[in-house]
Amino acid sequence: MSLLQVGMCPSMTTEVLKSLNTCDVKTVIDFVTSDTEELSRKCSLSYKVLSSIRRLLLAQYSAFPINGSDLYDEVISTVAYLSTGCDSIDKLLDGGVYTSELTEIVGQAAVGKTQFCLTLASCVAVSSEQNVLFIDTNGGFHASRLHDIIAHKSTSEKITSAALQKVHCATTFDLYGLLDLLESIKASIDSASEAFYSSLKLVVLDSVTAVLAPLLGGKHSEGQGMMVHLARSLKSLAADYSIAVVICNNMVRGERGEPKPALGRTWLTVPHTRIQLRADGKDGNTSRNTETSINRTACLVKSQRQAVNSSCCIAIGDQGVYG
């Protein structure tokens, strides 16, 4: 709540402010919600002076108005969805992963998070013909595996080669290097110095746990602040440049032994959408339907547009994630 001060506008002199305070009008809200004619009479001030102050304060403190049609056009022009390459997950997400948003893939180790990200990157490069930046923080990216998935989706080696050129991989193993990388991405997009970034539509971070976990707990008191800083940087990249940002996170054991996403309560509110990948079977063991495919369950645990706790069955094979 902003207090009225001398100099807020040319007509707000010391005498005017003193008269307003005498009538218990001390804040901007108090002033703009008061009837100007009645305030003029109570404070013995000029109606013209009070009207000019009111106009300037409204212009300075009011939200910029926008009608529904303009807002809809802005959303349509900046928000799109990218198919994940898996029909079941696309249906779960109401079309796919959305640009201008953060989507988190969470699950235990070796459950298939990286395979999902590679399949998504392949689909964006082949079907959408858009560029993808894969940020590897744990050494899980393998170009040969990406080639195999793309080869299953393309119809010729020429298409496969073109799609591979649309996926770049950047490697960093600490938070400070990651923050520098995100800022360099924004700078490259703003300057249009590299053609790759002009068609960048997907950024994959695999994984966020690898860079944040070492700074949380123990003697690292700055960990929470750095986590918030990273969250803001990722959201800014997504929202300001209409990019879909997909991040991988691990599962940890809660106080009662139940699995939960890592990084604590602060991080829970960061992603717009969260999908949990689980191994089939109550014992959590891998379930195979053929010699080369592994069954998994994808559960939507956080969403702004779909009912949560809905799930679907998927498989991971030579062609990536499908189902």
- Model pLDDT for residues 107-159, shown as the tens digit of each residue: 999 999 999 999 999 999 999 999 999 999 999 999 999 999 999 998 899 99
Mean pLDDT confidence for 156-169: 95
Q: How many angstroms from the chain centroid is the CA of residue 315?
A: 26
* pLDDT surpasses 80 at 60: yes
For residue 319 the two structure tokens come to 């062609």
Q: How much is the pLDDT for 99? A: 94
pLDDT tens per residue, range 206-252: 999 999 998 887 666 688 889 999 999 999 999 999 999 999 999 99
Q: Which of 295, 258, 257 is nearest to 277 (CA)?
A: 295
Could you state, in order of their start, the residue ranges of all structural domains in the chain? 14-61, 78-270
248: helix, strand or coil: strand
Q: pLDDT for 190-204, tens place per residue?
A: 998 889 998 999 999
Residue 101 scores a pLDDT above 70: yes
Q: Model confidence over 289-320: pLDDT tens digits?
A: 544 789 999 999 999 889 999 999 999 999 99
Tell me phi and psi for residue 36, to 5 degrees. Answer: -60, -40
| Residue 100 near residue 242, CB atoms below 8 Å | yes
Rounded to whole angstroms, the Cα distance separating 238 from 219 reads: 32
Superfamily grouping for domain 78-270: P-loop containing nucleotide triphosphate hydrolases (3.40.50.300)
Tokens 């991080």 found at: 267
Confidence of residue 281 (pLDDT cuts 50, 70, 90): low
Indicate the angle between helix axes 223-241 and 175-191, nearest 10 degrees. Answer: 20
Of residues 52, 115, 73, the one with CA closest to residue 277: 115
Residue type, 52: S
- Burial class (CB within 10 angstroms; exposed 0-12, middle 13-18, buried 19+) of 264: middle
Cis peptide before 207 (omega within 30 of 0): yes
